[in-house]
């Protein structure tokens, strides 16, 4: 069958071609999917995750089309509603099914979806559940990106179901990855927006799954990886401590002073052999900005002073960067003011989570003058020297 990953393992989830925003925050230029998998063992049947509540009808239709007479277990890998939201409806259609998950996820599902406690089977890390000729082996993978997340491994088929981990927001009618660069781009965007703050946990979880013999990874968003090393290697790179010879310059300009400074500064960096990714924060796709932050050694925020503080768009970028906690080593601020203000203190205060060395900011009074251009050149020199010390140039 077209939706069969391995013998008696079926994809029964939903593709959301039209969704353009997740969490009312994250842009989804390519839509997404909520993957759900039906595992038919010789004795028992399990459903791994459900779908977003808006797509419940698709999941239920797919279960009926797959001739599903009964479901014994609904494995909930993650309590977030894009995977768990349809579980109550599945339980109505298959009232004998038990929800299988860990204690933390169970508690969250009771809070979020009001599922009755009697419906749960609670499992431990490394626990197993037999479906007859297939075994569900549970691997806890906390903090990708919630604390309760777990994965299921089926040793007979050497397939890992890691939920959000390794996922991509990508709507496609292809069950398997058929365009590796496009999927890796979507997966990097997903990593940047959702996984990056949890780099340390991700490294631990990568070590944990390295103990398994994995021939296929079936995440809960985006296509299935028939060559799992592709995404495992990409995650190792993204989550590593290695930075690249890149500077992210994210700026906003009201009357041209900051834009003029950014234009000069970006050329100065390029002339020193540094790759620059420049973002005008007005109307920026924050997914693109987040992706650039995955690798960059240095982040520079450009902001005018507005009502004695940083322009709100620059404050938002600083706050977002702080929340995403990229591995950047250096940061600075360039900007302008008219008469007074505390823009620099405000922006550096908003980036307190970052383990960066703050390089001397360059702030111009009004349109930049000769001494401001010299200061921008000096900042570019300083960044080049720091990148050189770090072995990037």
Site for ligand FEO, rule CB under 6 A: 78, 80, 82-83, 145, 164, 220-221
Where do we find the tokens 């296929």? 216
Shorter beta-carbon distance to ligand FEO: residue 134 or 145:
145
Shorter beta-carbon distance to ligand FEO: residue 13 or 302:
13
Shorter beta-carbon distance to ligand FEO: residue 166 or 337:
166
Shorter beta-carbon distance to ligand FEO: residue 16 or 164:
164
Alpha carbon distance 38, 239 (integer Å): 31
Q: Which helix (H) or strand (E) holds 295?
A: helix 286-295
In whole angstroms, the minimum distance from the beta carbon of 319 to ligand FEO comes to 21
Per-residue tokens: 43:
């004795």
Alpha carbon distance 159, 134 (integer Å): 11
Shorter beta-carbon distance to ligand FEO: residue 18 or 23:
23
Within 10 angstroms of residue 331's Cβ, the number of other Cβ atoms is 24
**Minimal CB distance to ligand FEO: which residue?**
80
In whole angstroms, the minimum distance from the beta carbon of 80 to ligand FEO comes to 4
In whole angstroms, the minimum distance from the beta carbon of 23 to ligand FEO comes to 9
In whole angstroms, the minimum distance from the beta carbon of 72 to ligand FEO comes to 24
Burial class (CB in 10 A: 0-12, 13-18, 19+), 92: exposed
Determine contact, residues 99/74, Cβ cutoff 8 Å: yes
In whole angstroms, the minimum distance from the beta carbon of 308 to ligand FEO comes to 38
Look at residues 278, 269, 255 and name the one whose alpha carbon lies nearest to residue 368.
Answer: 255
In whole angstroms, the minimum distance from the beta carbon of 38 to ligand FEO comes to 19
Shorter beta-carbon distance to ligand FEO: residue 30 or 82:
82
Residues in Cβ contact with 239 at an 8 Å cutoff, skipping those fewer than 6 apart: 195, 199, 202, 203, 206
């Amino acid at each position: 069958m077209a939706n069969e990953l391995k013998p008696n393992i079926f994809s029964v989830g939903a593709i959301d071609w039209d969704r353009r925003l997740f969490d009312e925050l994250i842009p989804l230029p390519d839509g997404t999917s909520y993957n759900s998998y039906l595992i038919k063992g010789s004795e028992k049947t399990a459903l791994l995750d459900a779908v977003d509540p808006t797509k419940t009808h698709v999941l239920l239709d797919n279960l009926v089309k797959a001739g599903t007479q009964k479901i014994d277990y609904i494995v909930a890998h993650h309590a977030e509603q894009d995977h768990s939201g349809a579980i109550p409806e599945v339980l109505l259609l298959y009232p004998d099914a038990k929800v299988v998950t860990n204690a933390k996820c169970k508690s969250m599902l009771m809070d979020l979806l009001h599922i009755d406690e009697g419906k749960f089977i609670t499992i431990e890390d490394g626990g197993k559940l037999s479906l007859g000729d297939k075994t569900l082996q549970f691997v806890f993978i906390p903090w990708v990106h919630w604390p309760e997340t777990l994965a299921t491994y089926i040793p007979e088929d050497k397939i890992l179901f890691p939920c959000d981990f390794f996922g991509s927001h990508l709507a496609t009618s292809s069950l398997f990855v058929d365009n590796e660069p496009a999927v890796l781009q979507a997966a990097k965007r997903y990593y940047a927006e959702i996984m990056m703050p949890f780099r340390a946990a991700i490294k631990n979880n990568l070590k944990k799954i390295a103990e398994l013999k994995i021939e296929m990874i079936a995440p809960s968003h985006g296509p299935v990886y028939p060559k799992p090393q592709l995404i495992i290697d990409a995650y190792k790179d993204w989550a590593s401590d290695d930075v690249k010879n890149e500077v992210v310059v994210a700026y906003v300009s009201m009357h041209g002073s900051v834009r003029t400074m950014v234009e000069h500064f970006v050329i100065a960096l390029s002339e020193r052999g540094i790759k620059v990714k420049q973002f005008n924060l007005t109307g920026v796709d924050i997914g693109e900005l987040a992706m650039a932050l995955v690798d960059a050694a240095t982040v520079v925020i450009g902001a005018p002073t507005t009502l004695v503080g940083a322009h709100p768009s620059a404050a938002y970028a600083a706050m977002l960067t702080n929340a995403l906690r990229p591995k950047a080593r250096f940061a600075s601020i360039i900007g302008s003011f008219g008469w007074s203000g505390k823009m620099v203190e405000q922006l550096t205060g908003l980036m307190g989570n970052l383990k960066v060395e703050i390089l001397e900011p360059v702030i111009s009074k009004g349109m930049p003058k000769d001494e401001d251009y010299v200061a921008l050149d000096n900042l570019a020199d300083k960044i080049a020297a720091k990148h050189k010390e770090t072995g990037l140039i």
